[in-house]
Structure 1
Amino acid sequence: MEKEVLQEELKVARKKSAKPMLWVSMISMVMFFAGLTSAYVISMKRDDWVTFDLPNAFYISTVLILVSSLTIFLSQRFLKKGNRPLSLALLVTTLILGIAFVWYQYIGFNELKAAGLYFTGPTSTVSTSFLIGITLMHVLHLAAGIIVLFVVIYNHFKNKYKPNDLLGFELGSIFWHFVDLLWICLFFFFYFIR
């Protein structure tokens, strides 16, 4: 009996600390990208700075990630209402949109290469190195988000989420919205600051 009480207290403590720990990690990610974008702004003063248009694929990927935020939001909402099949369908749609986002980022990198703009090498420029480097860092964070989505989908299949117990789903959703918002901020940063 004492062991069960201790396990329940541990479970409650984990639930109380999960969201604050996620927020702390997201704040550290914001600081990381703030440092990268600050270095980008400072480097714009260099004589060898080259301006260029963003790849068309980045516009498409931006729309995809915006829609993915909507689908995960609706998925959580339908799960709270007990509509598990529709919630799962929207969750899988979010995953597909996330993978499509990564694909269009890849296409965008190829568009840059086709324009003669490289990440490294003798024909690379500081501006393209920053753009591709920062974007790649975001793609890595989004890849973590895709792994999180796989875990949430798995737990959804296992019926681990109940309308009154959605902590894992909520954590995954918060992180997904975060990487979405981060991309939107980066996209507008690159669009307006060249």
Structure 2
Amino acid sequence: MVANIDKNNTSGEQPLKYVLWLIIVSIIMMFMAFTSAYIVRREEGNWLEFDLPTTFMFGTAILVLSSITMQLAYNAAKKNSLNMVKIMLAATTVLGIAFLYSQLQAWGDLVQNNVYFGGADSNPAGSFLYVLTGVHGFHLITGLIFLFIVLISSLQYKVHSKNMLRIQLCTTYWHFLGGLWLYLYFFLQVNH
């Protein structure tokens, strides 16, 4: 399978794209279930409202910026600007890590405001917030692993206009994660 990726063999492209889209659809279904459960549970009572940490807003800006740098890396690969590919992939990686750090900071802010996960005395609104952001964070870690693999490939000059599959799949997944976060952020703003 890796040989097909490196040679950009079209017979290997379609199954990998199909698998990626199956993963994306599965993640969408999971988050739709989470947000539906959030709405249903909210209506049952025992739901204590609290302000969302402002750190989420900064994290959102970081993730949007990382999506821009990812797209710039993809565009550079199409134009064989190999140094720009490396720079933009490295920037996307740093921004992705910064986003995760901002999420940890937001969790710290929640704890300082006595919003905890789980437990008999906990606020279900807080538990849902931890689950939604934590599961998204897990998927972002998988995206960072994928991104790191593509970055290593770019350092080996394996990402260019004649070998676009890795960066194309990575770009699609990264944009999806950014879009998913925007959905979650606005969902929480409206329903919190």
TM class by shorter chain equals: over 0.9
Instruction: Tell me, yes or no, if the aligned pair for 1:44 and 1:127 is still in contact at 8 Å.
Output: yes
Task: Give the structure with higher Rg (CA).
Answer: 1
- Structure 2 match to 1:180: 178
Q: What does residue 8 of structure 1 align with? A: none
Give the aligned length.
186
Which of 17, 21, 24 in structure 2 is aligned with 1:23? Answer: 21
Structural RMSD (CA): 1.5
TM-score (structure 1 length as normaliser)? 0.92
Q: How far did 1:77 drift?
A: 0.7
The answer for the alignment partner of 2:116 in structure 1 is 118
Q: Where in structure 1 do 4 or more consecutive aligned residues deviate above 3 Å?
A: none
1:109 aligns with 2:107: yes
Task: Give the whole-Å Cα distance in 2 for the aligned partners of 1:176 and 1:186.
Answer: 15
Change beyond 3 A, Cα 1:110–1:123: farther
1:39 to 2:37 alignment:
yes
- Structure 1 gaps, min length 5: 1-10
Question: Residue type matched to 2:27 in 1?
Answer: M
Query: Distance between the aligned counterparts of 2:120 and 2:56, measured in 1?
Result: 25
Alpha-carbon deviation of 1:100? 0.3
Offset, 1:84: 0.9
Contact 2:64/2:178, CA 8 A, preserved across alignment: yes
Could you tell me whether the CA contact under 8 Å between 2:56 and 2:102 is conserved in 1? yes
The aligned runs of 1:58-73 (5 Å cut-off) are 58-73=56-71
Match of 1:7 in 2: none
Whether the aligned pair in 1 keeps the contact of 2:71 and 2:171 (CA below 8 Å) is yes
Aligned partners of 1:117 and 1:123 also within 8 Å: no
Output the TM-score relative to the length of structure 2.
0.93
Aligned to 1:5: none
Q: How much has 1:12 moved relative to structure 2?
A: 3.4
Could you tell me which residue of structure 1 aligns to residue 164 of structure 2? Answer: 166
Structure 2, unmatched stretches of 5+, are 1-8
